[in-house]
């Protein structure tokens, strides 16, 4: 059986209520599903939330698929014993191994594709049957926000994919917001130059590794459908679109097909953003929907954009790129982790085996090349970058504030950052001030000896052998 959303849902369901919960009543599409996730977060809980009924729709909804960074271990199929032993770096190692390759897609006939069990075209198209949510109070409307969009580069014929949000505009129209720097925008601009409409297919619901593949950054001619196969560990099964000349994932839950006139602009937002603030009204494209295809018992995949889940979706591909950038200048890099537990993915920790003075600053500068990363903290190799307390301890005890803090103004950044400024510094713009914090010990100078438990006792001691009560697993 091909891997799909259902396989992942079964895996998390089998792991118990810290991994998967279901709601017990019809849920209001306005705000309620998001508040549930924030309530769970307040208790440090991040299970997948399955809502069998959203008022006004017959289609169930699932959200918080990757509420916690550690869910990637489940999605990647890393067994729990290995994960416990190796720790979170196992996620990065497995992702990097798969990400460095691609796998050609496997084409199957429409008649065998689960996503073609129901086909609606023309006047039958009605987006209002979907359980679309209004996520935050000041949002302009209801959104599809973790579907990924497939389009084709008109020059090379190669397919591109990316997660772009789509606001419900009418029963057969959606907004389509693509950040100008993303490849989707480069392709859209080419269609505009050629005076041709751009065909797109919006895919809602698939295995998390497939969705993640659409967020991989690489050259414009990288076929993300082939990256998806590699991340999934098997070829992505595709079939032909009904009304567009595009391959669509055969094992998806729902596919929305249509065209975009790339010379016509409408507006998107305001919209609650991943930085934890509302984003402004901004230009976006209009998608005219020509078909909806789905499984008979389709599940709609949603995400609360302003919940930390957004960040856990984003960090792995940024870590992969950042790691390569640091490695190119400091080959002794051990690990890099972007803290996923806050909104905004702004703070990265990089551990290096420091051999030469100056390496820490260089590593920190290289990590800042990722336009999302605003603060890079460089630590010695024994500091676990996945342990925020350890990283902060290193900052608190190893940073010399007058020599180890390097401030770099005027660097390109997402305009959504509330501190972003323009060249006059009077108005909002696309630049921020970034900082490198060197939290490494000096080379060749004496430094205090860190206290660590004796290695043999640490490794041999099992808590159950020493304690009268059995402790329950930490959440
Ligand atoms: C949950 C989530 C929501 C996102 N929303 C958008 C969006 O609305 N517009 C956008 O351009 N990028 C968005 N992104 C980022 C892009 O999907 C990502 O940068 C992707 O690699 C872009 O692909 P492309 O360069 O091939 O166009 C989102 C990412 C995630 C994980």
Question: How does pLDDT run across 291-331, given as a tens digit for each residue?
Answer: 999 999 999 999 999 999 999 999 999 999 999 999 999 99
Token digits of residue 128: 């209002």
345 Cβ closer than 6 Å to some ligand 1 atom: no
Residue with CA at minimum distance from ligand 1 atom 15:
163
320 Cβ closer than 6 Å to some ligand 1 atom: no
At 217, the pLDDT band (50, 70, 90 cuts) reads confident
Q: How far apart are CA 458 and CA 335, in angstroms?
A: 23
Taking the centre of ligand 1 as the mean of its atom positions, its distance from the CA of residue 270, in whole angstroms, is 17
At 415, the pLDDT band (50, 70, 90 cuts) reads confident
**165 CA: nearest ligand 1 atom:** 8
Tell me: pLDDT of 239 over 90: yes
310 Cβ closer than 6 Å to some ligand 1 atom: yes
231 Cβ closer than 6 Å to some ligand 1 atom: no
Query: In CATH, which of 3.40.50.300, 3.30.420.40, 3.40.1670.10, 3.40.1190.20 is domain 309-439?
Result: 3.40.1670.10
184 Cβ closer than 6 Å to some ligand 1 atom: yes
**146 CA: nearest ligand 1 atom:** 1
3-state secondary structure of 26: coil
71-93 burial, b if ≥16 CB within 10 A, otherwise e?
bbbbbbebeeeebeeeebebbbe
**178 CA: nearest ligand 1 atom:** 11
Q: Report, as an integer, the average pLDDT of 389-399.
A: 98
Own/partner contacts of 412-417, CB < 8 Å, gap of 24 or more, are 412/371, 413/371, 413/372, 413/374, 414/275, 414/371, 414/372, 416/273, 416/274, 416/275, 416/277, 416/279, 417/275, 417/344, 417/374
Q: Are 461 and 455 in contact (CB under 8 A)?
A: no
Q: Report, as an integer, the average pLDDT of 40-68.
A: 97
Taking the centre of ligand 1 as the mean of its atom positions, its distance from the CA of residue 389, in whole angstroms, is 30
**305 CA: nearest ligand 1 atom:** 1
Taking the centre of ligand 1 as the mean of its atom positions, its distance from the CA of residue 473, in whole angstroms, is 35
Model confidence pLDDT, tens digit, residues 265-294: 999 999 999 999 999 999 999 999 999 999
Which of 141, 148, 162 most suits a substitution to test ligand 1, by most atoms within 8 Å of the C-beta?
162
Which of 66, 209, 215, 271 most suits a substitution to test ligand 1, by most atoms within 8 Å of the C-beta?
215
227 Cβ closer than 6 Å to some ligand 1 atom: no
Which residue spans of the chain are classified as CATH 3.40.1670.10?
309-439
**148 CA: nearest ligand 1 atom:** 17
Reported in sequence order, the residue ranges of 66-165 that DSSP labels E, i.e. its strands, are 106-107, 118-121, 143-144, 148-152, 159-163
178 Cβ closer than 6 Å to some ligand 1 atom: yes
318 Cβ closer than 6 Å to some ligand 1 atom: no
Tell me: pLDDT of 94 over 50: yes
- 101-301 has CATH 3.30.930.10 classification: no
69 Cβ closer than 6 Å to some ligand 1 atom: no
Token digits of residue 324: 């390569």
At 344, the pLDDT band (50, 70, 90 cuts) reads confident
Q: So what's the pLDDT on residue 414?
A: 84
Name the phi and psi angles at 319, rounded to 5: -65, -40
211 Cβ closer than 6 Å to some ligand 1 atom: no
Which of 66, 145, 164 most suits a substitution to test ligand 1, by most atoms within 8 Å of the C-beta?
164
Taking the centre of ligand 1 as the mean of its atom positions, its distance from the CA of residue 215, in whole angstroms, is 6
At 473, the pLDDT band (50, 70, 90 cuts) reads low
**184 CA: nearest ligand 1 atom:** 27
% of the chain at pLDDT higher than 90: 92
Tell me: pLDDT of 475 over 50: no
110 Cβ closer than 6 Å to some ligand 1 atom: no
Residue with CA at minimum distance from ligand 1 atom 6:
164
Residue with CA at minimum distance from ligand 1 atom 22:
162
**179 CA: nearest ligand 1 atom:** 11
Model confidence pLDDT, tens digit, residues 117-160: 999 999 999 999 999 999 999 999 999 999 999 999 999 999 99
Give how far the C-alpha of residue 126 lies from the chain's centroid of Cα atoms, to the nearest Å.
28
Residue with CA at minimum distance from ligand 1 atom 29:
163
215 Cβ closer than 6 Å to some ligand 1 atom: yes
- What angle is formed at CA 412 by the lines to CA 410 and CA 413, rounded to 5 degrees? 115
Of residues 128 and 344, the one with the higher pLDDT is 128
Q: What is the pTM of this model?
A: 0.95
């Amino acid at each position: 059986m091909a891997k799909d959303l259902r396989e992942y849902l079964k895996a998390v369901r089998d792991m118990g209520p810290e991994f998967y919960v279901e709601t017990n009543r019809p849920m209001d599409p306005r705000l309620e599903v998001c508040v549930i996730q924030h309530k769970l977060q307040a208790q440090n809980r991040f299970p997948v939330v399955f809502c069998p009924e959203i008022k006004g729709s017959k289609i169930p909804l699932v959200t918080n698929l990757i509420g916690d960074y550690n869910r990637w271990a489940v999605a990647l199929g890393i067994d729990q014993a290995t994960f416990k032993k190796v720790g979170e770096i196992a996620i990065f190692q497995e992702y990097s191994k798969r990400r460095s390759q691609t796998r050609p897609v496997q084409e199957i006939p429409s008649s065998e594709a689960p996503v073609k069990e129901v086909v609606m075209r023309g006047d039958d198209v009605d987006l209002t049957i979907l359980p679309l949510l209004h996520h935050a109070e000041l949002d302009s409307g209801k959104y599809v926000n973790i579907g990924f969009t497939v389009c084709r580069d008109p020059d090379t014929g190669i397919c591109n994919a990316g997660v772009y949000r789509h606001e419900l505009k009418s029963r057969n129209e959606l907004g389509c917001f693509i950040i100008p720097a993303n490849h989707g925008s480069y392709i859209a601009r080419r269609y505009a130059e050629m005076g041709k409409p751009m065909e797109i297919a919006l895919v809602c619901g698939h295995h998390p590794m497939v969705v993640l593949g659409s967020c991989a950054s690489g050259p414009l001619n990288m076929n993300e459908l082939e990256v998806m196969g590699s991340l999934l560990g098997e070829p992505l099964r595709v079939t032909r679109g009904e009304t567009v000349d595009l391959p669509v994932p055969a094992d998806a839950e729902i596919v929305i097909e249509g065209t975009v006139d790339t010379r016509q602009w409408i507006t998107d937002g305001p919209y609650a953003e991943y930085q934890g603030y509302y984003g402004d009204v901004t230009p976006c494209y209009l998608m005219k929907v020509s078909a909806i295809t789905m499984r008979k018992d389709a599940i709609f995949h949603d995400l609360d954009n302003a919940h930390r889940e957004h960040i856990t979706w984003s960090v792995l591909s940024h870590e992969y790129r950042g790691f390569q950038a640091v490695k190119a200048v400091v080959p002794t890099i051990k690990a890099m982790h972007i803290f996923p537990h806050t909104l905004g993915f702004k703070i990265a920790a990089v551990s290096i085996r420091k051999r030469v003075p100056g390496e820490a600053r260089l590593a920190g500068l290289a990590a800042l090349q990722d336009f999302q990363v605003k603060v890079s903290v460089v630590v010695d190799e024994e500091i676990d970058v996945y342990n925020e307390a350890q990283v902060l301890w290193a900052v608190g005890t190893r940073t010399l504030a007058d020599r180890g803090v390097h401030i770099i103004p005027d660097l390109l950044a997402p305009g959504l950052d509330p501190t972003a400024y323009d060249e006059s510094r009077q108005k909002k713009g696309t630049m921020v001030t970034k900082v490198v914090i060197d939290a490494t010990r000096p080379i060749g100078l004496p430094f205090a000896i860190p206290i660590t438990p004796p290695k043999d006792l640490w490794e041999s001691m099992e808590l159950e052998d020493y304690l009268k009560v059995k402790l329950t697993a930490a959440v």
